[in-house]
Chain A
Amino acid sequence: MSLLDVQGLTIRYGSDTVVDGVDLYIDRGESVGLVGESGSGKSQSALAILGLLPRQAEVSGSILFDEQQLLGASEQELDTFRARRIGMVFQDPMQALNPYLRIGAQLRQILLSHGRADKAAVDASVLEMLAKVGLPDPERQYRAYPHELSGGMRQRVMLASALIVEPDLLIADEPTTALDVTVQAQILDLLEDIRDDTALLLITHDLGIVAGHCEHMIVLDKGHLVEQGQTTTLFAAPAHPHTRTLLDAAPRVDRGDVPTSATGSTILSVSGASVEYRDLTAVRDVSFAVREGETVAVVGESGSGKSSVVRAMLGLVPLSAGRVVYAGESLEGPVERRLKSQRRDLQLVFQDPVSALNPQMRVRSIVAEPLLVHESSMTAAARLERVTAILEKVGLSERFLERFPHQLSGGQAQRVAIARALILEPKVLVCDEAVAALDGSVRRQVLELLRAVQADTGLSIIFISHDLAVVRSISHRVLVMYLGKLVEAADSGTLFTSPRHPYTQALLDSVPVPDPVVVAKRAPLRGEVPSPVNPPPGCVFHPRCPKAEAKCNSTAPDLRDVAGSSVACHFPN
């Protein structure tokens, strides 16, 4: 008998069926990955198990846990399963932990409510659990509020809260999606180390995580179960076309072709750029150049300054030092004071397409708006012609002209944003995490689109991303930033095969590889990115660096050339 036996699970909201007849089994101690794109119903299914769906949801089918029916059980009955038998970890620990309560109080209450400790012993149990999930100085975290902890620490607390009553099943819903990649690796390791014989239902969109951490996997698509089985089998021989699409769309950081280096002449260069906000230096002395027809990726975790340096280049935030040269002319001051011609040549696409488009404007007006500013003499008919042409180029037919942003899917909205940026035929396109919010297959299409436009027009692209696997297939050059500093710059061919900086190496090792044959690496780095308000002395990476020596604590390394790469490290590989 399975520990969890879900049959024919169907979830409806009015006439919308979001989960349709899903079956799911988990044995004791087993780890199962529940995979799917957004809207596949994976989170809804997980929430249904613990009866946590909003009350408008109509749920039918059967959910047997240890031979007891959970579907239709009262809140009181469910409370005897929640935490005690089934623990749950949610995606974003900032939202999922109560910001008004100290960490200790939140964990205490769980033990007290389930009668697992009396008032005298409860503190000791909580402290023990905090230590077990690897929080340094548990006494201090006990008194801390969630906002005082880093993202990784908060997720450790979340994990502690789910496991403190020692459940038989742990449900983790996208537990690492909100975290930096080096921290994600730590949390996945911790999950693995700490769960012992607790069964795991891991919900994720990332096939790399499933490959490394789940024995079984279940693939959902639009509320339907399309395939399930042994992870190794499914990866080796996917039977369903949707599984194949997912696997094909999963970017791999460890292999695959990289674009050969671009040979055009330099069109844009940034030298000695620094950006300071009120009490922190976001970017320190960063220089780089972009060639015609080249894609340059700027990669880094939170606080790396990757967005700041590019925004300063565009004149969206002030540079505190350094200069930007475009086509032989110096770009000065904020964007409003730059020449119209300079502004039209540099365009920008943002991360979240839906909030980057004005919800009150139709697609035709959104895409035409740049023309009103830069080609004011154009007739309405000519404008419409241009809009239709550019929409066609990004793969959207005329029927999208009259739509509003909320009537678009994420991928369509991002195409509209790209069309708006491209309509002025810019020379340089900046994509700030432009594919981070998109599902795998849509992301792939958008990347294809960018590549095609580049081949067609010789556009230069600056591609800001936290994800090295995505960057690999599209960029000619990669710049790796850490805490405001450029730590390594190299052609993709060089960087992905022989990374020189220990941080680049660690970033590459942290990315989960969607292949169960490749053994998941242990988290290569300890700790998290320090606050940019108070950066470490010497080499900013030294507190986390496996190679750090005394010299690194005191002297910041300069960028120097090592076999074709520029590396800022005293001890490059």
Chain B
Amino acid sequence: MLRYTLLRILGAIPTLLLVIALAFLMVHAAPGGPFSSERVLPEHVEKEIERRYHLDEPLPKQFLRYVSGLLQGDLGPSYSYRDYDVDELIADTFPVSLKLGALAMALALLLGVSAGTVAALRQGAWLDKFVMGFSMTGISIPVFVVAPVLVLFLAVKLQWLPAGWTSEVGLKRLFLPVVTLALPQIAYIARLTRASMIDVLNRDFIRTARAQGLGTATVVRVHALKPAMLPVLSYMGPAIAAVLTGSVVVEEVFGIPGLGQQFVRGASNRDYTLVLGIVVSYATLIISLNLIVDILYGVIDPRVRYR
């Protein structure tokens, strides 16, 4: 198990480096720069700024400087927020996004797995058809449609919930954004759980468990749930990535001061270091979570550990 874990961690490092390199190149390939504006600066001022931010150096040297900064936890200075470092900006906005994402994932898992399991047990019955129909809808409708519709009904028409980010701390202001983010994930996880649960319920060892007279609830809880969760666990990586990218839209729609909003602003301000810093943080987060998923896979399926 330790060997398996270490191998997985080692395998993640090149992936991360590749993502950083690609992001770095793409940001630098974009036309224009953080300091280009309508007002033409005198040439010596421009040169001076470029020198201060090491933009006059050759690209490989800039990249090495960036990576060595990263190793010390330094994401560089922000180009548009003059007195801030990128790490400060991320640290300010990340907690809100994290809360949003974590709640959405928890909700998606709880509802998705339950709905999928019930549908599998009632295969072909109306409940199954309802869950499947609902989840097809959930998958088909994009976040930027769901969000305004939810706001229109629950906030504007019924006035049960705030339409945007209020100063009032609590679940109320989180509810709509979390549901919006979770909805497609609930739908997808429900479908995934249903398919894999049906597959597991047809396996020989489930027939054995039934022959042991354990009762349906125990058969599902003790014998079927763990193996049925393997495909769902594999999907956690992409799901987390989807929730993170989804949060960029949701934060804009609901006006939440999170990392996603910061990212959009960074991009429109041509704030290279901020955009790069957020991309690198997202990548690190997604890769680490995928790593955890891989390791959990080994925990659930004892046979994987030996491969």
Contacts and interface: CB of A to CB of B under 8 A. Distances in A.
Contact of B205 (A80, A81, A96): A96
A78 B302 contact: no
A463 interface: no
Interface string A220-241: 0000000000000000000000
B9 interface: no
Interface stretch (B64-72, B208-216, B268-276, B288-296): B208-216
B204 A75 contact: no
- Main secondary structure, interface of B, reads helix
A186 interface: no
Interface residues of B, number: 22
Nearest to B303: A147
Contacts of A92: 204
A381 B262 CA distance: 76
B226 interface: yes
B302 A145 contact: yes
Interface string B188-211: 000000000000000111011111
A82 B302 contact: no
9 contacts: A88-B211, A90-B211, A95-B203, A98-B205, A99-B301, A99-B303, A100-B301, A109-B222, A110-B213
B214 A79 contact: yes
A98 B207 CA distance: 10
Contact of A52 (B205, B210, B302): B210
B33 to A, nearest CB: 55
A95 B213 contact: no
Given A90-B204, A147-B302, A98 B209 contact: yes
B302 A79 contact: no
B211 A50 contact: yes
Interface of A: 50, 52, 75-76, 78-84, 87-88, 90, 92, 95-101, 105, 109-110, 113-114, 145, 147, 158, 161
A99 B302 contact: yes
B198 to A, nearest CB: 12
A99 B227 CA distance: 9
Interface of B: 203-205, 207-216, 218, 222-223, 226-227, 300-303
Contacts of B213: 78-84, 110, 113-114
B212 A83 contact: yes
B196 to A, nearest CB: 13
A145 B305 CA distance: 12
A96 B204 CA distance: 5
A327 B210 CA distance: 59
A75 B208 contact: no
Contacts of B303: 99, 145, 147
Nearest to B203: A95
A57 B296 CA distance: 38
A100 B226 contact: yes
B12 to A, nearest CB: 26
A109 B210 contact: no
A52 B207 contact: yes
Given A100-B227, A100-B302, A109-B222, A82 B203 contact: no
Given A76-B215, A98-B223, 5 more contacts: A90-B207, A92-B204, A99-B227, A101-B223, A145-B303
Nearest to B223: A98
Contacts of A101: 222-223, 226
Given A90-B207, A145-B302, A82 B212 contact: yes
A147 B207 CA distance: 18
Contacts of B204: 90, 92, 95-96
A286 B138 CA distance: 64
B302 A161 contact: no
B223 A113 contact: no
B216 A95 contact: no
A167 to B, nearest CB: 10
B216 A113 contact: no
Contact of A161 (B207, B212, B222, B300): B212
Contacts of A52: 207, 210-211
B227 A97 contact: no
Contact of B208 (A78, A90, A100): A90
Nearest to B227: A100
Contacts of A99: 205, 227, 301-303
Nearest to A85: B213
Nearest to A94: B204
Nearest to A81: B213
A123 B118 CA distance: 32
Contacts of B203: 95
Contacts of A90: 204, 207-208, 211
A246 B207 CA distance: 30
Nearest to B215: A79
A109 B218 contact: yes
B211 A82 contact: yes
A113 B301 CA distance: 24
A92 B302 CA distance: 20
Contact of B210 (A82, A84, A105, A161): A82
Given A98-B223, A101-B222, A147-B303, A110 B214 contact: yes
Q: Could you say which of B207, B216, B226 has the most chain A C-beta atoms within 10 Å of its C-beta?
A: B207
Contacts of B226: 100-101
A463 B136 CA distance: 56
A210 B215 CA distance: 33
Nearest to A79: B213
A84 B211 CA distance: 10
Nearest to A110: B212
A489 B223 CA distance: 48
A79 B236 CA distance: 36
- Listed from nearest, the 5 A-B pairs whose CB atoms lie closest are A82-B213, A95-B204, A79-B213, A88-B211, A98-B205
A87 B300 CA distance: 29
Contacts of B209: 98
A88 B218 CA distance: 18
A96 B214 CA distance: 15
Contact of A97 (B205, B215, B218, B222): B205
B205 A113 contact: no
A101 B227 CA distance: 10
Contacts of B205: 95-99
A159 B226 CA distance: 24
Nearest to B224: A98
B217 to A, nearest CB: 10
Contacts of A75: 215-216
Nearest to B225: A100
Contacts of A50: 211
Contacts of A96: 204-205, 207-208
B300 A113 contact: no
B211 A113 contact: no
A379 to B, nearest CB: 50
Contacts of A110: 212-214
A147 B307 CA distance: 13
A181 to B, nearest CB: 23
A113 B218 contact: yes
Contacts of B211: 50, 52, 82-83, 87-88, 90
B1 to A, nearest CB: 13
